[in-house]
Amino acid sequence: MECEKGTSVEYPPEGASYNHRVQPEQASFVIVGAGAVGTVLAGCLARAAHRVTLITRPSYVAQMNDGLLRVFGISDFEVRVQVAGELHEGSPDYLILAVKTPDTEGALAAVQGLAPKTVLSLQNGLAKDQILSKVFGREKVLGATSIIGASMVQPGVAEHTFNGATLLGELEGAPSERAMRLADILSWAGLRAEVTDNIGAAEWSKLCQYAPAALVSVLSRLPYYQICLSEPLAEVFVQLTRECAAVATACGSEVGDYPGFNIKSLVEVSESEAVRSIVERGEDMERRGMTGMRISMLQDVERGHPTELEETIGDVVRRGAEANVPVPWMRLGYLVVRGIEANWRRPTR
């Protein structure tokens, strides 16, 4: 079924977040990046009758069937959006960066001259808010982190594998109307969203979830739920989580428990309890049929694409060294993935 603009969307009780019980007014979005997450995000927002322009690499534009997006899995629909290779004029309500971190410079060049009212990034890593602040001004930037799970099939087609929460918050910490409004827009679009008063802790906590999930996925080549179900792999997951959290603490940040990633609990409980918590996560995912989720770094490695290793796990390893925090498990995983990527770039004889 194709949903044209103007289609009404019922209030989704599971995804709802705050006190707006009236459907939010239509907003305009420019989403940079038509990968898996960008496609799901653009599709859900367009289905909820928002004006969406999706910026993607020129080679994708011609393949995207005049902007028709197909999302299946947790969500299942088709919807049409505007698609372009670049956009340099206009003042959308929201500019959302959804490209892989190595593509940030090119993504920002594609929207140079745009004057968004609010800008945010759903990328992995810790440098994104500072980069956006330099380009657009700190007052325009809304902190964000997300664990939406998705897998790209082809340009314009993505499988929505996990309806993880998107966390929003002001860089200065105080709750804001714009953060709550965007959370409600996303909730009405069928995407879980919450506002936090400590987005820095949320972004560090997301990294403490992403780093172990990415490393264990690449080393095992298993889907996420099977990693969680395996006690030996769950133990590795816990060790990596605790190393990352120790670096966060040394850097002056807290970690917390959020929907989909309970980092604080994994650090504070006994090791056996933490491992059991990961196994129970896998059992829950299997019971609910959430077996298609594959971590993005594994998807990149399987396709021979550059990964986000340096901007995420490499960053933690370097910060740990600077703070004299040992991270032997993470450094080992980092070196293995780095070696895999180096082998791709090695000239064949």
How many separate helices (H) and strands (E) can be counted in the chain? 13, 13
Same CATH fold, 202-344 and 26-197?
no
**Spatial separation of the C-alpha atoms in residues 186 and 70, rounded to whole Å:** 18
- Give the E-state strand segments of the chain in sequence order: 2-3, 28-32, 51-55, 68-73, 77-80, 82-84, 94-97, 118-121, 142-154, 157-170, 193-195, 257-258, 261-262
Backbone conformation region of residue 4, classed left if phi is above 0, alpha if psi is from -120 to 50, else beta: beta
* pLDDT band per the 50, 70, 90 thresholds, residue 15: very low
Residue pLDDT, tens place only, 100-146: 999 999 999 999 999 999 999 999 999 999 999 999 999 999 999 99
pLDDT digits (tens, 9 = 90+) for 292-340: 899 999 999 999 999 999 999 999 999 999 999 999 999 999 999 999 9
SS3 call for 259: coil
Q: Which of 3.40.50.720, 2.120.10.30, 3.40.50.1820, 3.40.50.620 would CATH assign to domain 26-197?
A: 3.40.50.720
When the pLDDT of each residue in the chain is averaged and rounded to a whole number, the result is: 92
Residue 9, pLDDT > 80, answer no
Q: Is the pLDDT of residue 92 over 90?
A: yes
The pLDDT of residue 343: 86
Cα 91 to Cα 19: distance, rounded to the nearest angstrom = 27
Q: Which residue has the higher pLDDT, 149 or 95?
A: 95
Q: What is the 3-state secondary structure (H, E, C) of 46-106?
A: HHCCCEEEEECCHHHHCCCHHHEEEEEECCCEEEECEEECCCCCCCCCEEEECCCHHHHHH
Q: What is the DSSP letter of 199?
A: H
pLDDT at 22: 66
pLDDT in the model for residue 173: 87
Sheet holding 28-32, edge to edge: 82-84, 51-55, 28-32, 94-97, 118-121
Q: What is the pLDDT of residues 16-29, one digit of tens each?
A: 444 445 678 999 99
Which of helix, strand or coil describes residue 151?
A: strand
Q: What is the pLDDT of residue 347?
A: 67
Q: Cα 265 to chain center, whole Å?
A: 21
**What is the average pLDDT across 188-196?**
95
Chain length of the chain: 349
Say yes or no: domain 202-344 is CATH 1.10.1040.10. yes
Q: Where are the domains of the chain?
A: 26-197, 202-344
What is d(CA 214, CA 195) in angstroms, rounded to the nearest whole number?
Answer: 25
Three-state DSSP at 29 gives: strand
Q: What is the pLDDT of residues 169-182, one digit of tens each?
A: 999 988 899 999 99
